[in-house]
Amino acid sequence: MRTRIIAVLLTVAVVFCTLVFSAAAEDETCEIYVSINGSGTVTVNDVERDESFSSSFSVGDSVTLTATADDGYEFLYWTNIENSTFGRIVSWEPELTFDAVTYARYEAVFDKLEDVSSASEKHTIVYLGLGEKVLSFQQNVAMEYTGFYNSVPTSGMKVSGRTWNGWDQTVDQVAATDGRVYVRPLYSTDATFTITWTVDGVTTTRTEKYLDETRVTAPSTLDGESFSYWIARARDVNSVDEIASFYANYNFIVTGDVTLEAIYGEPYPQGNPGVAIRVAGDFASKEEKTLTIIQEHSVVSGFTVTENGLLLTKNDQIGSFSDRFVIDPNNSEITKGKSKVNTLYGNYRANIDNWTPVDMGSYTYYPRIYARAYVIVRDANGNIATYYSDPYCVEYNYDTGSSGGDNNDDPFG
């Protein structure tokens, strides 16, 4: 992963009046949908539910969901099921606390106690993918039965930057396990990076695996001041500090070392009304010949996101200039990738296939790829504006120049 920011250029196309945002934010609400898988109940706002339900919250409210298993059952985990059949595990604890930001769907998963399963000579098998995504949840599988193995989806296991080497348990081991069993993928590329975040002068550090989804959190208020935003500190001399998120719970994909700081009680910088858009990183796979670029956006309540995505080009004379590198359906040298989900915050990945070096006779090189993230928002009065990130250049060629270099045809080496 070798990247650099081109320059600090125009980041905002149109700036809204902050008074419009402030007046609208107080009335914004969002729906939280909760489903129950298995036998148990969920409590929210001191009301206990034993079936699926939805509740309306003001944007910014802290929400706590508490799962309680019925007799003979136990709580397994909470999943976020917004974009998949089973969802991704977001917590293994019965109590799930989060900020209401936009429409969300969570599921509490319960299962029979392991001793009950074992007594019946049946067990539960859970196959997990990258980022604890639930690929298969199979209950009441007869011990020693192996037919389920062929039904486990594996098409999504290939990830750019990693080589999937199968599961951490064989089918025979899974079938012979007495009681519940979780099966996870094995990858040959498991590089780790350092995540550092500071809240109220206290700095915390942990390591995370490459391409994992992770989260940092901060109090919504501190010493009487409200949370303003997370700042992502500059990665190198060619980059700048950026707003990473306007929300105290910040989720992101790990592509490198990250240094964050929680800011309290400060207005948004440079007249920004609460719209952040950036290219958060990239990762490449030489073996799979793919390049993936990640966009992140974070928009405060009071706006509606109507579209977000990434612009890509190989043309230096476009990618290096903010006034040229914009949405233009008539410019065939600019490719636009558009997200299918328009939430107030989130990320989008643009994948470039068949990413291979160009043969120039005496040497080969990977073409530069320029990327620019964008988000289109509508304010409370119906006004629409487009915001862009700084242009971002993916550069995997080193030791280049008139005399070439040893690593010119192998930037991964």
DSSP string, 300-341: -TT-EEEEEEEEEE--HHHHT-TTTSS--TT-TT-EEEE-S-
- Inside any domain, residue 403: no
pTM value? 0.66
Q: Are residues 129 and 39 in the same domain?
A: no
Whole-angstrom distance, CA of residue 348 vs CA of residue 353 = 16
User: Who has greater pLDDT, 407 or 216?
Assistant: 216
Residue 147's domain comprises 114-187
Question: Residue 404: CB partners within 8 Å, gap ≥ 6?
Answer: 362, 363
Nearest to residue 4, comparing CAs of 275, 234, 191? 234
- Inside any domain, residue 274: yes
Q: Are residues 40 and 80 in the same domain?
A: yes
Residue 267 structure tokens: 């207005």
Amino acid identity, residue 141? Answer: V
- Whether residue 23 is predicted with pLDDT greater than 60 in this model: the reply is no
Angle subtended at Cα 314 by Cα 310 and Cα 320, rounded to the nearest 5 degrees: 80
Q: Is 22 helix (H, G, I), strand (E, B) or coil?
A: helix
What percentage of the chain has pLDDT greater than the value 70? 84
Q: What is the pLDDT of residues 277-310, one digit of tens each?
A: 999 888 887 777 888 899 999 999 889 999 999 9
| DSSP assignment letter at 366 | P
Nearest to residue 299, comparing CAs of 231, 245, 340, 363? 245
- Whether residue 413 is predicted with pLDDT greater than 80 in this model: the reply is no
Q: Are residues 331 and 275 in the same domain?
A: yes
- Inside any domain, residue 143: yes
Q: Are residues 144 and 279 in the same domain?
A: no
Average pLDDT over residues 77-96: 81
Q: Is 156 helix (H, G, I), strand (E, B) or coil?
A: coil
Whole-angstrom distance, CA of residue 253 vs CA of residue 280 = 9
Res. 120 pLDDT band, cuts 50 70 90: confident
Lowest model confidence (mean pLDDT) among 10-14, 171-175, 394-398:
10-14
Q: Are residues 204 and 220 in the same domain?
A: yes
Q: How far is CA 304 from CA 32, 376, 381, in A?
A: 17, 9, 11
Nearest to residue 104, comparing CAs of 129, 86, 77, 83? 83
Number of domains in the chain: 3
CATH number for the domain harbouring residue 83: 2.60.40
Question: Residue 85: CB partners within 8 Å, gap ≥ 6?
Answer: none
CATH number for the domain harbouring residue 382: 2.60.40.10
